[in-house]
Structure 1
């Protein structure tokens, strides 16, 4: 099983909404999401991979077995993704050349040079503006990562 549970209410980048006035309902959705992940983890399947961005799964259930980046699999993008594995080896990016990010000084004037990819601003934030389908665009699995999963775990 390779599972991609919905991350809307689990991802660290959105958890701050759970305690804001008018958004208290989100905490219950987070709990439902965590229960679903627990169900997946407990499934009587010998080989499992559960994929999610950095989320409260790590602090509320358990730490991931592996963290990957699209740029390590040849994509011009950064999206730290966690994998919780059972009966499967860590995913290897060896078949793909690492995509080097553009080099920028951040913070500006600091002299510190960091890498950024096409989906990031110079500060490291997402380049994708608000839209009705932003969630779908942000949840795409990169082709080379999917290929690595299929070839290494299939």
Structure 2
């Protein structure tokens, strides 16, 4: 049986999500929620749109949550590649660039890396500046070259961990928020001591071996955080929406 929210139901877009974890959390509270990504939904849902998120940002959403926009070029860990390009071509390069990469000189590779930075910043900026009153974007802390490329940039409102919400895992998650409150921990656990087997299990995101599905594991939102987003942001924004339409 559907559990109806105490606040007004909203039209919600969950961007850059294929797992459906966050979509399902909001749907369980009765919201009209859709996810979108360039890839199909893993759960086969008919409430998932395969598209570039920028194509539907103007479709009258009450709340936008962008869960894992491509961020490799924006985060601090990736800034080194702007001066010393990697040996292997980044996943975001075109098929032609991937094929030609071994024969490209350093300066050409460097130009491609800066172009990828521009593309990643443009996507983040489009989401952050979307015509939606309540926006949450998940992204690591950015380096200075990324920040200056994003109109209206503000630092992340908070950084949360899955274990704050009952999920036995380490994954620092930066949340850029506009029109939404910070998340309040719901079931804070005690992290295991470093060096123990339990600590290694909690570190699965960081210990994931290279492979075609590594990105999927690292980008997945844990259910405890998803439920907190749905109950806290959904309730807060829904109440605000109801007040403005009363």
Q: What TM-score do the two structures reach when normalised by structure 2? A: 0.51
Tell me how far 1:59 sits from its aligned partner: 6.6
Q: Report if aligned partners of 2:121, 2:146 keep a CA contact under 8 Å in 1.
A: no
Q: Does 1:6 align with 2:96?
A: no
Q: Report if aligned partners of 1:11, 1:54 keep a CA contact under 8 Å in 2.
A: yes
- Alpha-carbon distance in 2 for matches of 1:66, 1:48: 14
Q: Does 1:71 align with 2:158?
A: no
Q: Does 1:139 align with 2:231?
A: no
Task: Give a deviation string over 1:113-132, Cα, whole Å, max 9, x none.
Answer: xx9452438xxx92111111
- Alpha-carbon distance in 1 for matches of 2:192, 2:179: 37
The equivalent residue for 1:39 is 126
Give the structure with the higher percent helix. Answer: 2
> Which of 195, 217, 233 pairs up with 1:153?
233
The equivalent residue for 2:182 is 90
Q: Does 1:29 align with 2:121?
A: no
Task: Give a deviation string over 1:71-108, Cα, whole Å, max 9, x none.
Answer: 11111211111111111111111x32x22222137xxx
With 3-12 and 53-62 compared, the bigger mean Cα shift is at 53-62
The structure-2 alpha-carbon separation of the partners of 1:118 and 1:34, relative to structure 1 and needing over 3 Å to count, comes to same
Tell me how far 1:146 sits from its aligned partner: 0.7
> Which of 67, 84, 92 pairs up with 1:20?
84
Q: Secondary structure at the match of 1:126?
A: helix
Report how many aligned residue pairs link the two structures.
Answer: 140
Q: Does 1:99 align with 2:182?
A: no
Where does the alignment leave 5 or more consecutive residues of structure 1 unmatched?
106-114
Q: Secondary structure at the match of 1:85?
A: strand
The structure-2 alpha-carbon separation of the partners of 1:66 and 1:59, relative to structure 1 and needing over 3 Å to count, comes to farther
Task: Give a deviation string over 1:37-58, Cα, whole Å, max 9, x none.
Answer: 1111211111111111333389
